[in-house]
Structure 1
Amino acid sequence: MPLPRLALALCLAPTLALAQPLDPEPRIAVMSAFPPEWTTLLAAMERPEEHVVNGIRFVTGTLAGRSVVLFLTGVSMVNAAMTTQLVIDRFDIEGVVFSGIAGGVDPSLAIGDVVVAAEWSQYLESVFARETPDGFALPPWMEPSGLPNFGMIHPQPVGVTREGSEGVEQKVWFPADPDWLRVAEDVAAGTILEDCPPEGACLSHVPRIVVGGRGVSGQAFVDNAEFREWTHATFEARVLDMESAAVAHVAYANGVPFIAFRSLSDLAGGGEGANEMATFMGLAAGNSAAVVTAFLAALPE
């Protein structure tokens, strides 16, 4: 028996409500993974207005003269992908910008440096291969990706569909927006980074901004020198984190410009002593936020 019209409307009401935009103004989504990474950005917001969806706090306002929506993705690839899609669905998003800390895997880089990678890959989009007397072997029906394995871990591309595509596209790399990268290059030339946190030890070097190259992301906090060396050699990666490639993936699927600014809080296991993140997290987060703020100010209208 068909539902009466009123009952049907009541059943559909929650779905219809979810589809309503929270704010009509075109904005740039500016995101970080967890609170220490966004403190500076949130404090600099003008005319902040809060919206809450699924328990996630979205703050609209103006930052460096640009209309933005600022929010936390949560740590991890799944959280980052989920919240990026949510902001695209519920706001009029002109592009997405990530600001945060990361582990450095390029031995030429140091703590405090800010990396703005040109493309991102997901190193744990992989097959955990079977061990045989001749080494780790992929299933016989699976094609190798051409990327070197790390023991049982064999990297693979990920299938992506988006509007206008024919079938599933197999991708290893998700690009940052080339126009935005050019703006970042201009910003890098005129932005000075901090080398001393408000409290604690100062760096023994002057941090720098590096635009270009590659970054990788995955569902693991990496503090292992051997794995660090593998990610650098295999992906030619400069930086490693737990969110950026997921955000780049979602932005690509939606046809939205993307860029990530990641400042090195540690060396992903490459340091001489214990992991450095707790010591330099505040310094790195502040450096990333400074470059993001300068980037927003430099964007053409």
Structure 2
Amino acid sequence: MIRSARILALALLAPGAALAQPLDSEPRIAVMSAFEPEWTTLLDLMEEPQDHVVNGVRFVTGELGGRPVVLFLTGVSMVNAAMNTQLVIDRFNIEGVVFSGIAGGVDPALAIGDVVVASEWSQYLESVFARETDGDFALPPWMEPSGIASFGMIHPQPVGVTRDGAEGVEQKVWFPADPDWLRIAEQIAANTTLEDCGAEGACLSDPPQIVVGGKGVSGQAFVDNAEFREWVHATFEAQVLDMESAAVAHVAYTNDVPFIAFRSLSDLAGGGEGANEMGTFMGLAAGNSAAVVTAFLEALPD
């Protein structure tokens, strides 16, 4: 009876154990984007690409910028980004994670085409949507205020985080980029040329720049609202807003893996004149982000 129980237990564990087997033992940098237009340039530059498919996600191993990498799409949204970042960490030998993609600019000092390499990321929609009472939106009486200014009913809150070696649940608002990697990004910024005209013929009015440092925020919403953009900039002192980076930073932090995100501005999150600019400048912005990521990989020390 005991032996039969053990065999049954092993049989039940076997599928999970097989699923957790690494697909590739070579130490690699995980390079990710959210959706296909963001990764086309990087995929074209891959040397000796080899495909692996897990849970329907295509992971491409090879070399990029002279570095062993695994390139993949997270999918758009915080959930997809978190899920597939953990998946690549579990199934490959990952030395760090790099995000390349487009974003909305929320700092009035920045323009479309600029590449932002934020030093930390926050999740602005980790929030309480408060009820309205007498014309005001207030937290439930049993809840402590976070100290972060609200936007109407939206009251941002820290997120609880657990990780190996920590005692209990850590409440965090900001997730850092790797400081050593930020220094490398600063070193390459002066020597990396960004494009100011896209393949479709749309050109920028000012030469784009690379900004290393500052803050970024992410959430489950595509933002195209001038008032909300102003609140994000004022409240979080943010330069850039997207839908994935903070989730990837969160997963990297819990796994103690270096992280950095390169985000090129395809639009101004509602701050521009006329219609949203993403459809016009998405290709240009994605190419500029890919150029900086490639230069970053080339500059990483052995």
Whether these two folds match at TM > 0.5 is yes
Which is further off, 2-11 or 168-177? Answer: 2-11
Matches of 1:150 and 1:207, distance apart in 2: 31
| Residue of structure 1 equivalent to 2:272 | 271
Aligned-residue offset at 1:106: 0.2
Aligned-residue offset at 1:5: 4.8
Deviations 1:63-118 (A, max 9, x none): 01000000000000000000000000001100000000000000000000000000
| Residue of structure 2 equivalent to 1:148 | 149
Matches of 1:105 and 1:126, distance apart in 2: 20
Unaligned runs of 5+ in 2: none
1:215 counterpart = 2:216: yes
| Residue of structure 2 equivalent to 1:165 | 166
Matches of 1:102 and 1:198, distance apart in 2: 19
| Residue of structure 1 equivalent to 2:34 | 33
| Residue of structure 1 equivalent to 2:69 | 68
What is the CA RMSD across the aligned residues, in angstroms? 1.0
Matches of 1:12 and 1:132, distance apart in 2: 52
| Residue of structure 2 equivalent to 1:51 | 52
| Residue of structure 1 equivalent to 2:120 | 119
Aligned-residue offset at 1:10: 3.0
Using structure 1 for the length normalisation, give the TM-score. 0.98
Aligned-residue offset at 1:296: 0.2
Matches of 1:15 and 1:223, distance apart in 2: 42
| Residue of structure 2 equivalent to 1:202 | 203
Using structure 2 for the length normalisation, give the TM-score. 0.98
Matches of 2:12 and 2:259, distance apart in 1: 37
Matches of 2:42 and 2:135, distance apart in 1: 53
Q: Number of paired residues?
A: 301
Q: Which amino acid aligns with 1:248?
A: A
Unaligned runs of 5+ in 1: none
Taking the TM superposition and a 5 Å limit, the aligned residue runs for 1:1-301 are 3=4, 5-133=6-134, 135-301=136-302
Q: How many percent of aligned residue pairs carry the same amino acid?
A: 83
Q: Secondary structure at the match of 1:288?
A: helix
Deviations 1:266-291 (A, max 9, x none): 00000110000000000000000000
Matches of 1:157 and 1:141, distance apart in 2: 16
